[in-house]
Amino acid sequence: MSSIETKKENKNDIEESDYKPPEVNALGFDDIKLCLCKGFSDFRQAPTFGLFFGGIFAFAGILIVQSFYVWERGWLIYPMLVGFPLIGPFAAVGLYDVSRRLNDGLPLRWNEIMSVVGMQTSRQLPYMAFVMLFIFWVWMYQIRLLIAIILGRMSIPSWDAFFNIITTTPEGLAFIIIGHIVGACFALLLFSVTVVSIPIILDRDIDFVTAMITSVKTVKKSPLVMISWGMFIAITILISFIPLFLGLLIALPVLGHASWHVYKKAVV
């Protein structure tokens, strides 16, 4: 082996040994409150961007619900709505960049923000999107599995029939309880691997595995605070569905901006 090759190997060994994943800070409820205030402030400073990205998310929700009606799968609407917030972090990528620019004093230009979002397709973001969509797909599949196991003998031709079954029959109540327990586990898993992973991929040159590990470390560092933050996000988005998804026009941008500030607080 030549001396040049030996030097290259030694250099690689040094670089690998010197590499350290990002460290995380412990967060308190006051930090989350401050991040929410900053998120609302960012939305007030750049409402057009917030309404644009929130509108895309709201339109996607309306389109999915209408598709279920057209396909006569109305009974899938409820599990879809419960699982829909799981893909929220991916929908907020543009909002993260807006907050980053506001924090750094950079100008807000549509072409630059959209190009930054587009550039993520050649980085690590598509891998994170695959992880999120895969978990969301598994969530929807296990709902169908629970329906087959628990409600298999019952006819569910429409949303009205499904709602009547789950609210008036013992099997329906069992389905609700088991489904929500399983759903909570999926939500905790996805929240843990994404709460700061997507912002950190946007902000730094880092691989998606390290980003997910850092995200999980953030939740483990402040479990009560971070789980409460995840529950707040889920409940807020679910409430925003009530007026034909229009609440997402405000809820998504505020939560998206706030999530960016949570990442900046959490990751050293």
At 44-88, the pLDDT tens digits run: 999 999 999 888 888 877 887 777 666 666 666 666 666 666 666
pLDDT for 43 equals 95
Residue with tokens 């599990």: 79
To the nearest whole percent, how much of the chain has pLDDT over 90?
A: 24
**Which tens digit of pLDDT belongs to each residue from 212-230?**
999 999 999 999 999 999 8
Q: Tokens 């549509």 correspond to what residue?
A: 110
* Residue 225, pLDDT score: 94
pLDDT given at position 93: 82
Top pLDDT among 201 and 7 is at 201
* Sequence-separated (6 or more) residues with CB below 8 Å from residue 54: 248, 249, 250, 251, 252, 253
Q: Which of 127, 253, 267, 121 is nearest to 203 (CA)?
A: 267
Domain ranges of the chain: 27-266
**pLDDT for the residue numbered 33:** 95
What whole-number distance in Å separates Cα of residue 99 and Cα of residue 108?
10
Q: What is the pLDDT of residues 104-163, one digit of tens each?
A: 888 888 888 887 777 766 677 778 778 877 877 787 788 778 878 887 766 666 667 777
Task: Please compute, for residue 113, the number of CA atoms within 13 A of its CA located in the half-sphere on the CB side.
Answer: 22
- Give the residue with greater pLDDT, 79 vs 180: 180
pLDDT at position 11 over 50: no
Mean predicted lDDT score pLDDT of the chain: 80
Q: Which two tokens stand for residue 87?
A: 């893909």
User: Is residue 262 a contact partner of residue 27, using CB atoms and an 8 Å limit?
Assistant: yes
